């Protein structure tokens, strides 16, 4: 298709089926229309079954302790206190994370999950933050790999 030159047709428009549509003009002069999915604002969502924490060995939890770089200057610090893991983003409060499995954790204060990735000897190398429909990888900072 090439480069995008302009959004045509008045930008966004409402189609008869209720979808929001937009047009993009390509460098060949053609317009391409894309429809965004119809959503019902305020429609009830099916209830999610409550998340249940599971026991995880302290040694596995200890392997996750350290600092993980999300994006500069945001760092996620994982700490272990009384056999419980906590997460803290730069400039924010510390919150407990609860294990759903030996690698997957959830928060109760926000709808977010963390999944830890490990090397062959079980040491964490990165984590994946699942939040708002997006996955963000955070690499464990080099000086924290010995934890």
- pLDDT score of 55: 96
122-136 per-position pLDDT tens digit:
999 999 999 988 899
Helices (H) and strands (E) in the chain, counts: 1, 11
Kind of pairing between the strands at 112-118 and 104-107: antiparallel
What mean pLDDT value characterizes the chain?
79
Q: Is the pLDDT of residue 84 over 50?
A: yes
DSSP 2: -
- Identify whether 8 is part of a domain: yes
Q: Is there a single domain that holds both residue 30 and residue 101?
A: no
Same domain membership, residue 80 and residue 137: yes
What's the token pair of residue 50? Answer: 């409550």
Residues 122 and 68 reside in one and the same domain: yes
Are residue 72 and residue 20 in the same domain, yes or no? no
Considering the domain architecture, whether residues 30 and 69 belong to the same structural domain is answered as: no
pLDDT given at position 26: 57
Look up the domain containing 64 and give its range: 58-144
Residues 23 and 73 in one domain: no
CB 22 within 8 A of CB 10: no
More confident residue, 38 or 132: 132
* Mean pLDDT for the stretch of residues 3-13: 44
**For the chain, how many structural domains are there in total?**
2
- Residues 87-99 pLDDT 10s: 999 999 999 999 9
**Greater model confidence, 87 or 147:** 87
């Amino acid at each position: 298709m090439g480069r995008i030159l302009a959004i045509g047709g008045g930008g966004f428009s409402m189609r008869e089926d209720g979808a929001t549509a937009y047009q993009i003009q390509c460098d060949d002069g053609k317009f391409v229309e894309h429809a965004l999915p119809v959503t019902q604002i305020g429609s009830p969502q099916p209830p999610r079954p409550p998340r249940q924490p599971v026991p995880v060995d302290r040694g596995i939890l200890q392997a996750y302790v350290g600092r993980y770089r999300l994006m500069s200057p945001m760092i996620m610090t994982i700490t272990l206190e009384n056999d419980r893991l906590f997460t803290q983003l730069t400039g924010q409060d510390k919150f407990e994370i609860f294990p759903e499995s030996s690698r997957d954790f959830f928060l109760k204060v926000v709808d977010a999950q963390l999944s830890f990735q490990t090397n062959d000897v079980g040491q964490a190398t990165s984590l994946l933050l699942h939040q708002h429909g997006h996955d963000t990888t955070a690499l464990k900072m080099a000086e924290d790999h010995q934890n």
